[in-house]
Amino acid sequence: MNTREMLVGAGLGAALAFMLDPQGGGRRRALIRDKVVRVSRKTRDGLDATARDLTNRTRGVAAATRGRLANEQVDDVRLIERVRAKLGRVSSHPRAIDVKAVEGEVTLYGPILAHEVDDVLATVSAVRGVKSVINELEPHESAEGIPSLQGEGRVAGSSIDVLQRNWAPATQAIVGMAAVAATMLALSARRANAA
């Protein structure tokens, strides 16, 4: 018998004695059972949320694809709402920008930071239903002295925060699978190099 087997046996014996102790073992077993039940419930809830998230994302991609392929006329109110929804992703102060639409022709007014103009125009041009974009924006190098550009603006999605707290369930699943795949590849490469 080698030392490793002896240590494993001693550890297993100590764990069994700890769990089967007549005085405190029942409580310890109940705690472990409760933790196992909680972990299984959390896992089930997480899998359900991931499945719903992936289903919704798939439906969204399908709807976007159908919308791109369809040649629909979009009313001006809906077009303005679509443009407004996209502005928050490329402008740090989207409320400072006024949007007008007439039969697919979108006009943008208002103050904007100069480094955001190109992104805003490109994004608005790509909105489904927009035929042309008229640039009436007032670019400024800094927000100093412009009330509507004051405050700390944040462009959604401009910087990916890897350490963010709230990831979508589908993103968590994809990142988790990628981490497992990378680990498996690293292990197989290590084994191949060792052989």
Domain presence at residue 137: yes
The count of domains in the chain is 2
Question: Whole domain around residue 129: which residue ranges?
Answer: 73-149
For the cut 70, the answer to whether the pLDDT of residue 185 exceeds it is yes
Find out whether 139 and 112 touch, Cβ atoms under 8 Å.
Answer: yes
Domain endpoint, select from 112, 132, 149: 149
C-alpha 182/C-alpha 188 separation (Å) is: 10
Render pLDDT for 47-76 as a digit per residue (tens, 0 to 9): 899 899 999 999 999 988 887 777 777 889
* Long-range contacts of residues 93-101, Cβ cutoff 8 Å, at least 24 apart: 93/143, 93/148, 93/149, 93/151, 93/153, 95/148, 96/146, 96/148, 96/149, 97/137, 101/76
Are 62 and 99 part of one and the same domain? no
How far is residue 169's CA from residue 57's CA, in Å, rounded to a whole number? 11
**For 2-11, 36-45, 159-168, which range has the lowest pLDDT when averaged over its residues?**
159-168
Beta pairing partners, 100: 107
pTM above 0.85, yes or no: no
Whether 98 and 119 map to the same domain: the answer is yes
- How does pLDDT run across 116-133, given as a tens digit for each residue? 999 999 999 998 888 999
Residue 132 belongs to a domain = yes
Do both 62 and 93 map to the same domain?
no
CA distance 77 to 11: 70
The CATH number linked to 119 is 3.30.1340.30
In a domain, 189, yes or no: no
